Structure 1
């Protein structure tokens, strides 16, 4: 069994493998007093609607090869504001529809249930959960709803190339650097621009003799 929790309204769900005998769809939700005063459950084929259940006025429409079949009306068991559990069961020859565990209708197939490709719920209704049981192809429990986001998608710049310290094309080293003379630079043997000051010690030289030097 697969389920979708709290789906949005309108609710569109893909059923790529169709329905088979024993397939079930169970809807848990509640009605509310909106503008349309009703809601509907549709089984969709490839570009066509195959089966329509209109709840609150509770009528059923079934697609045939010649067009829509006769509209069937049944006693409604729901009022505005009611919570519900609607069970749609695919039998070999018909659909069984139950509302809050009470059988409402048996509706004969006019087209094969294997032609079903999608489910649609719309109108004055909120859904808490939709359960899907015994599908030929397990449905995706997290479908991509075909409704655009109301917020714009952010646009990011393309990622920059990784930095390579060995290759830099933005500031290449110049190849025409001037050649320096061989003796350019500092030479410890070059003469200082200042005069050579020797024996500048503040103490007298012991080798000197003369007046003022008693030793």
Structure 2
């Protein structure tokens, strides 16, 4: 079987430009739109629009328009009822011809805060109601690798409709029954939680139990820790420690206050700066099996015999989490 993400949490890879697509669940404070791409050498201009409808003629809540015209600048504006507002021109160009970029649009109470390559660029104040925004448009001289909207779907969604991208091959257990929740999973999803994150695992861990974690490793990240713990004893049955700068994923346990021997061997390292990840952690009778981005990463053999006492999940370090499903 394959893991199917709920709407709004499946990254869009390599979209055709011009691109026009929905923002599932709309926008609200705390939502972030991540766009990774590259600028061609022969660029003149490109645009990113947040639209109040799913057509090119819809009102535009945010018009972001870098222009390479000899007097390089970025123009911000809005459009309502077919009439453009007053332009905000920023005569500073955060993009470079022939280079890759990461752009983040963060929604806050003041407006749309734009970051490019980890640096604050400009905040465009709200002119149109935030709750009207429902689509994203990208056009012009730009190549896009990934679009991801974190926090873009509203809570309470615990079903997995078919027809969206796949992810986790065999080893996760039986098939889906008529669109129901993923086998081995239960309870409500958690969307866009703050990090550090610590919460009980409803029902604890048991054979065939699968937990899905989706997120992004920001630029400048160094270390991440994901711990499966026993709340009663504070033992860490499974410690997963991606070390971004070192390019390794360390695994260990801490039982009775003592760390065990580290496991370091892995076939790949999917936790890199600026990259998104889809991870499934499945508990078996003998081991935890970890898949990331559809590929088997490693197994971690149980060191705590009473692994079914594991009832807490902790996530710490340099990571942004969009989605957890127990």
TM-score after normalising by structure 1:
0.59
Structure with the higher fraction of residues in strand conformation: 2
**Mapping of 1:59-208 within 5 angstroms?**
59-63=75-79, 67-74=83-90, 75-137=92-154, 142=164
- Aligned partners of 2:140 and 2:81: how far apart in 1? 27
Kept in 2: contact 1:65–1:111 (CA 8 A): no
CA contact under 8 A between 1:33 and 1:124: conserved in structure 2?
no
Q: Note if contact 2:114-2:121 (Cα within 8 Å) is conserved in structure 1.
A: yes
Structure index of larger Rg = 1
Please state how far the C-alpha of 1:30 moved relative to its aligned partner.
0.2
Find the aligned partners of 1:38 and 1:62 in 2 and give their Cα distance.
17
Q: Provide the residue aligned with 2:311 in structure 1.
A: none
Correspondence for 1:49 = 60
Structure 1 residue 64, shift from structure 2 partner = 5.5
Change (3 A) 1:112 1:44: same
Superposed CA RMSD in Å reads 2.5
Instruction: Give, in whole Å, the separation in 2 of the partners of 1:62 and 1:12.
Output: 17
Shift of 1:132: 0.6
Q: Considering Cα pairs closer than 8 Å and 6+ residues apart, tell me whether 1 or 2 has the greater RCO.
A: 1
- Which structure 1 residue ranges, 5 or more long, are not aligned? 144-215
Match of 2:131, SS state, is helix
Question: Any idea what the Cα deviations from partners look like across 1:106-134, whole Å, max 9, x if unmatched?
Answer: 11101112101211101111111111101
Distance verdict in 2 for CA 1:66–1:123, change over 3 Å: closer
- Shift in Å at residue 16 of structure 1? 4.6
